[in-house]
Structure 1
Amino acid sequence: MSIEAIPMLRKRRYLLAMSAVALLTLPGCVSQQSASLTPGFNPSNVRRVHVVRLPADGRGIERLIADEFRRLGRVATIGSETDVPPDADAVVTYADRWMWDITMYMISLDVTLRTPGTLFPLASGRSVRSSLVRQSPEAMVREVVGRLLNQPES
């Protein structure tokens, strides 16, 4: 049956229903990457970082973050907020959020570079990827850390 054969009222309902379906499926394609640097912050001054491990993190995100800093030529240590080495240029904190859609996947990752001691935020970055545009945790870490250090995407 063609759409022209549907009476006007049914046609409006049909178009409204199709519009609703389209709007409901759009959020499945959300992808957002961003970084915010404090004025005066120079990422090239960050040579040594200390990644603060979340106590409840059983997925090893702190290791992925430290490995990415190392890949970009920085020295990275991992530990608690009280284990910060005296020569650290920045403390790295993070928050990861996971969702279930057939499998578990990371929907968002927030990473913040902070000054040792005061933990004042120097730079923060974020990657959000919904189910249809999901990436591996390694790729999301690479996106965020690269943006924090003003690195071209690789």
Structure 2
Amino acid sequence: MKPFPAVFRAAVLASVVLLAGCTQVSARKIIPLDAFQRIYVEQRRSDNHHLDELFVAELKRLGKEAASGPLTMMPEKTDAVLTYDARWEWDFKTYLIELTFELHTTHSKKKLADARYYQPSIRTKEPPEIIRQLLVDLWPKP
């Protein structure tokens, strides 16, 4: 059996290196979100990075009324609840490798939108930039 030429091996290696750092970002609205102005971000007990506060800051920057905390503290006139999950990795530094969130109606829990960010390498964006990108995809600023 004849070995692969060096050029072919180099091309395969370069492809693997380039694909290993691919970022996947998706955000989708199930219905238009213009009517949802008061958003409550459910605070995760296990979130030591305070992502709920970053979500609130970005929602306010987009002109929404936003607050965060445990669901038991949600204000009565909340239009939608944002829940999120984050996966962090450590490789000489801690970095966010995956962030997913869903937006639901307050009482019926009907899904309104969802989004996902996935970056399987250490060269990731900072959490505020990731959250900004995902939320702007759902609520573009006029």
TM-score class, shorter = 0.7 to 0.9
Q: Secondary structure at the match of 1:146?
A: helix
Alpha-carbon distance between aligned partners in 1 of 2:122 and 2:71, rounded to the nearest angstrom: 35
CA contact (8 A) 1:112 1:121 kept: yes
The question of 1:144 aligning with 2:137 is answered: no
Residues 68-126 of structure 1 show CA distances to partners (whole Å, capped at 9, x for unaligned) of 00111111111112322110111010111112233211112112111002222100112
Computing the radius of gyration from Cα coordinates, the structure with the larger value is 1
When structure 1 is superposed on structure 2, of 20-29 and 87-96 the one drifting more is 20-29
Alpha-carbon distance between aligned partners in 2 of 1:114 and 1:97, rounded to the nearest angstrom: 21
What is the aligned residue count?
Answer: 142
Percent of residue pairs bearing the same amino acid type: 28
What residue ranges of structure 2 are gaps of 5+ in the alignment? none
CA contact (8 A) 2:81 2:103 kept: yes
> Please, what is the CA RMSD of the aligned residues?
2.2
Corresponding residue to 1:51 among 38, 41, 52: 41
| Letter of the 2:86 counterpart | D
Aligned counterpart, 2:80? 90
Calculate the TM-score normalised by the size of structure 1: 0.81
Calculate the TM-score normalised by the size of structure 2: 0.87
What aligned pairs does 1:1-154 form with structure 2 within 5 A after superposition?
9-10=2-3, 12=4, 14-15=6-7, 17-38=9-30, 41-131=31-121, 133-151=123-141
Alpha-carbon distance between aligned partners in 2 of 1:42 and 1:80, rounded to the nearest angstrom: 26
